[in-house]
Every structure is written in structure tokens, then in C-alpha cells.
């Protein structure tokens, strides 16, 4: 067996549903661990991404920190995979894209009662939101996409094993879905 592939994963403007679905490959995770080892990932809590073969990113880009992390992944990973509806077309967070950002914040924090003591959160540690939510491929080059909200564990398994085997990943009927 040659050297294990190094894999990093992260969630940007996502809900971690794709990561949960990733865990749905269940006992096949053990077979996967024969082939790969994990770099930065919520699975191990490593905070920064070192040189990797594959980066898997869930969620779109909705704030300045997302942009920063996405660039770190692109710099570090030979192959970058966008996983899930949000990474691919912005998904649910992008449904604010036809609205003005300040009117969204005003509606949530000022108009509606009971939130943030009547002001728009402005702690310097909070990453600034972008005016629009972007799919990953609008910010960096993305090599592969696994659609679904979330993609099923079977779809993720098929895609990754195709890729690791050096084949062009194909999902086919039943595994490819956008919802």
C-alpha cells in the first residue's frame, strides 16, 4: 500500500449536514481510513490545513472568514471538492441574495423584538458578512462537486472511492440528487 492520501474537510456557510452525511458511510469509514488520513477537519479539531491531497468543503461563502478558510484550503489541497447544495449554488443562505444585506440585518436585529438587545452585533471578533452569499466556484477553482442536500452517505462513498481509484467520479440515478 502506497502512502495514505491526506484529506481535510470543513464547513463554511453550511449546517454540518453534509458532514453528518459523511459519517453516514458508517463502518465504511474504517475502510476509508485504510486509504486516507485526516488533516484539518471537525472530526479531529485540527485548526489549520497543512498540505493535503483532497479538501472537502461544505457550505457557501457568506463572510470574510469563509473567504479566508476557502483560500487556505485552495492553497493546501491538490484537489478541492465542493460538497452539498450550499457549496455548489449557495443553498439556503443564498436565498438572501436578492435582498439588501442591511435590510436583512435591520429586520432581524432591530425590527424583530428580543434579539441582541436592539443593536446589530458588531463585536470585532465577528467576521463581517458579505453582501451576497457565493458558491465556492465563484471564489476559487473547484475540481469536483458532490450535489445533494445533503448527498447521501452512499453518494459520498461512491464519489470518494471512484476518485481515490483514479476514475472520473460518477453518481448515476438514485445517488445524484439536488435536494
Partner 1 sequence: MSDTFQLDGATVPFEPGQTVMQAALAAGHYIPHLCYHPEFKPHGSCKLCTVKVNGRTTASCTMPAEANLNVESNIEEMNALRRTLVQMLFAEGNHFCPSCEKSGNCMLQALGYDLEVHATGFRHLYPDRPLDASHPDILLDFNRCILCELCVRASSEVDGKNVFALAGRGITKHLIVNAESGLLKDTNIALSDKAMQVCPVGVILPKRVGFSQPVGVRRYDQRPISAQALDDAPRQTDASGNCEACEGSS
* Residues at the contact surface with partner 1, assessed by CB under 8 A: 82, 85, 88-92, 94-95, 97-98, 132, 135, 137-138, 142, 144-147, 149, 170-174, 176-179
Smallest gap from Cβ 140 to partner 1, in A, equals 13
Q: Of 3 and 98, which CB lies nearer to partner 1 in the complex structure? A: 98
Q: Of 69 and 145, which CB lies nearer to partner 1 in the complex structure? A: 145
Q: Say how many C-beta atoms besides its own lie within 10 A of residue 67's C-beta.
A: 17
Asked whether 79 and 159 are in contact (CB, 8 A), the reply is: no
Smallest gap from Cβ 147 to partner 1, in A, equals 5
Smallest gap from Cβ 123 to partner 1, in A, equals 29
Smallest gap from Cβ 84 to partner 1, in A, equals 10
Q: E strand or H helix at 55, and its extent?
A: strand 52-58
Q: Of 5 and 149, which CB lies nearer to partner 1 in the complex structure? A: 149
> CA–CA separation, 156 vs 160, rounded Å?
6
Cα first-last separation, the chain: 37
Asked whether 136 and 70 are in contact (CB, 8 A), the reply is: yes
Asked whether 75 and 143 are in contact (CB, 8 A), the reply is: no
Q: Of 8 and 85, which CB lies nearer to partner 1 in the complex structure? A: 85
Amino acid at each position: 500500500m502506497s502512502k495514505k492520501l491526506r484529506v481535510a474537510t470543513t464547513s463554511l456557510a453550511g449546517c454540518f449536514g453534509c458532514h453528518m452525511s459523511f459519517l453516514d458511510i458508517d463502518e465504511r469509514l474504517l475502510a476509508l481510513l485504510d486509504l486516507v488520513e485526516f488533516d484539518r477537519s471537525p472530526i479531529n479539531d485540527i485548526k489549520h490545513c497543512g498540505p493535503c491531497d483532497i479538501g472537502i468543503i461544505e457550505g457557501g461563502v457568506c463572510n470574510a472568514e469563509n473567504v479566508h478558510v476557502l483560500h487556505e484550503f485552495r492553497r493546501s489541497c491538490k484537489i478541492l471538492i465542493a460538497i452539498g447544495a450550499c457549496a455548489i449554488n449557495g443553498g439556503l443562505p443564498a436565498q438572501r441574495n436578492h435582498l439588501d444585506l442591511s435590510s436583512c440585518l435591520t429586520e432581524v436585529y432591530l425590527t424583530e423584538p428580543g434579539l441582541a438587545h436592539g443593536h446589530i452585533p458588531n463585536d470585532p471578533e465577528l467576521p463581517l458578512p458579505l453582501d451576497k452569499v457565493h458558491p465556492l466556484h465563484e471564489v476559487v477553482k473547484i475540481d469536483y462537486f458532490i450535489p445533494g442536500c445533503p448527498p447521501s452517505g452512499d453518494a459520498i462513498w461512491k464519489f470518494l472511492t471512484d476518485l481515490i481509484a483514479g476514475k472520473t467520479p460518477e453518481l448515476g440515478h438514485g445517488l445524484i440528487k439536488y435536494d
